[in-house]
Structure 1
Amino acid sequence: MFTLDDMVTFAWAFFITLPATFLIHITGHVFFAKLFGARTELIIGKGKKLLKLGKIEIRQFYFTDAACIYDKIRKERRWKHALIYAGGSLFNILSIIIVNGMILADIWPKHLFFYQFVYFSIYYVFFALLPIDYGENHPSDGKAIFSVLKYGKTYKKFD
């Protein structure tokens, strides 16, 4: 049963753990976009812009979402765009393996934070790869991968 005692855990999960999964996910997109020569912008959160550090923009509701914008890549290829779209989930999966490996190796303790992190990461990967549209010109990563591989349709901004 959820009680007031759980509010600290909830706040920790909502304001730190969940945004960490977003940040790792979006870093995967940025990594592959940069690997293929694109210039990128990173937007963390929604709402009013609070801070801009170079190509990173932090918004008021930093804990809700993140997005990557990239421009033209070197030697346009469908598979490169597909890898950029898959990069977020690949980074989340890699982070899950690292966290579980560190716990199994007794380097990190079994802790609720890590459990929440892995849980949120799995959840995020599942919904990122589910091939659906989240709105007009706003596909999931899975839908973007399908669209670029089958039809050659690319997206320059995605979550």
Structure 2
Amino acid sequence: MFGIEDFYHFIQAFFVVFPIVTILHLIGHLAFAYFFGCKKMKVVIGVGKKLFSVRNIEVRLYYFWHGSCSLGPLKYTNKYSQCLILIGGSLFNLLGILIVNILIHESIINPSMLTYQFIYFSIYYVFFALLPMDFPDGTASDGKMIYSTLKGKECKQTSQDCQSFTN
């Protein structure tokens, strides 16, 4: 049965936890891009009408739904650097899961609906990011881009959340 308390958890999950998981995923892409010498990066949090921007971070009306990053040229570019950038988002989500579990195991934080939601959405994000597939908008998942890159195929698509390496 869906009650008032469940409605609170729904609001918390979709308007707080899911955006945090999305931002962590994008930070993973950006961290690896920075490591490989990318100096020009832009982050878009959400979709819809632009609300505001600060430096290279843009926040959109529906901040809780999706996010993306655009990357400029890399100083060190090859298929392995591109694959690490693409998998970086999922690695950061997995690292987040590990850290939360360690903090719970060491009794630094208590298990709660918030930690459950964080882990759940992190697993969800990793699964759909690494599943090699095309999304309805014509973009590819990180997994499909990694597969294409390792196979040496020229992929005309871009990853849904980590755009071009050459802009």
TM-score by length of 1: 0.94
Q: Which runs of 5+ in 2 are unaligned?
A: 162-167
Residue in 1 that maps onto 2:84: 83
**One-letter amino acid matched to 1:22:** T
- Matches of residues 70-149 of structure 1 in structure 2 within 5 Å? 70-135=71-136, 138-149=139-150
Q: Residue in 1 aligned with 2:31?
A: 31
> Distance in 2 between the 1:80 and 1:37 partners?
10
Task: Give the drift of 1:16.
Answer: 0.2
Aligned residue type for 1:30: L
Distance 2:153 2:29 in 1: 18
Q: Deviations over 1:49-78 (max 9, x none)?
A: 011110100000000001010011113200
**Post-superposition offset of 1:3:** 1.9
Q: Taking structure 2 as the reference length, what is the TM-score of the superposition?
A: 0.90
- Opposite residue 3 of structure 2, the aligned amino acid is T
Q: CA RMSD in A?
A: 1.5
Q: Which amino acid aligns with 2:135?
A: Y
Structure 2 counterpart SS, 1:151: coil
Provide closer, same or farther for how the CA distance between residues 44 and 51 of structure 1 changes in structure 2, counting only shifts above 3 A. Answer: same
Measured in 1, the distance between the counterparts of 2:126 and 2:104 equals: 21
Q: Residues 136, 8 of structure 1: CA spacing in aligned structure 2 closer, same or farther, 3 A cutoff?
A: closer
Match of 1:21 in 2: 21
Query: Which residue matches 1:6?
Result: 6
**Mapped partners of 1:120, 1:111: distance in 2:** 14
Structure 1 residue matching 2:17: 3-state secondary structure: helix
* Count of residue correspondences: 159
Preserved contact between residue 68 and residue 158 of structure 1 (Cα < 8 Å): no
**2:40 paired with 1:55:** no
Deviation at 1:137, TM superposition (A): 5.0
Distance 1:96 1:47 in 2: 29
SS at match of 1:80: helix
Secondary structure of the corresponding residue to residue 12 of structure 1 = helix
